[in-house]
Copies of this chain bind each other. A is one copy, B any other.
């Protein structure tokens, strides 16, 4: 039985994580960390009587858990993960806000403490598998374009997943230019260009979060598509992380790297 602490257990994602852990047969929720959470709110947040409640990091009992699930806030995540590693609780981190330097430091520390862990910008299995498969297919199909489609309220383009996918493809794709002599009669119609990989961002109301990777070769095409309808989808990836994190020897970035 793996023991789990959830930091940020009262947030939107944290509550989903509590529900997930409560539903799994081989995992036990032993503690939560959440500022302001009081014992009389146990029922509201679906916390069994056995679950210890901590309001501050320095209260957390070492050894209370094997795994530290973190869905907190950018200001807290570095200190939390640091603490988890030092106390041999394998971190599973969905909180954003760590910069490259902090990630490097935490990886170094995880090696020193021989503590596995996972930091995942995206826990949605469909997005993670899309990225993994796209990277693999690009070895055989160097001609590739990406189309991502999101709701009209999304303010930035391209999406993080689309850009991450392009970067992964770029690592393995042979140098290649698809159509050097092309002429565009409408500016920008060929989309954004990441090292020769075209990216197209669509923004429409009704849409939620969708990404397609299109590969073409002589006489054939391969398309990988993922649709995220609901953040509930993140829990499938957290489940995979809970399964595998204790087998890791150090902190890993990206769920696709532990599949």
Residues of A at the B interface (CB closer than 8 Å) are 124-127, 129-130, 133, 136-137, 140-141, 143-145, 147, 149, 152-158, 163, 178-179, 181-194, 198-208, 214-236, 240, 259
Contacts and interface: CB of A to CB of B under 8 A. Distances in A.
A224 B189 contact: no
Given A216-B207, A223-B225, A185 B201 contact: no
Contacts of A153: 179
Counting chain B CB atoms within 10 Å of each CB, the highest count among A191, A232, A234 belongs to A191
Given A157-B183, A201-B190, A220 B228 contact: yes
Copies of this chain in its oligomeric complex? 4
A184 B148 CA distance: 13
Contacts of A143: 152, 204-206
A206 B216 contact: yes
Given A190-B157, A194-B186, A233 B215 contact: no
A246 to B, nearest CB: 19
Given A193-B188, A200-B191, A230-B218, A129 B125 contact: no
Contacts of A219: 124, 206, 228-234
Given A125-B140, A126-B220, A220-B125, A199 B205 contact: no
Contacts of A136: 129, 133, 259
A140 B147 contact: no
Contact of A190 (B203, B221, B228): B203
27 contacts: A125-B220, A126-B217, A129-B222, A133-B136, A140-B259, A156-B182, A157-B186, A157-B189, A184-B201, A186-B194, A188-B191, A189-B191, A189-B192, A191-B191, A191-B202, A198-B203, A200-B200, A204-B214, A206-B219, A206-B229, A207-B216, A207-B229, A220-B226, A220-B227, A220-B229, A221-B227, A225-B225
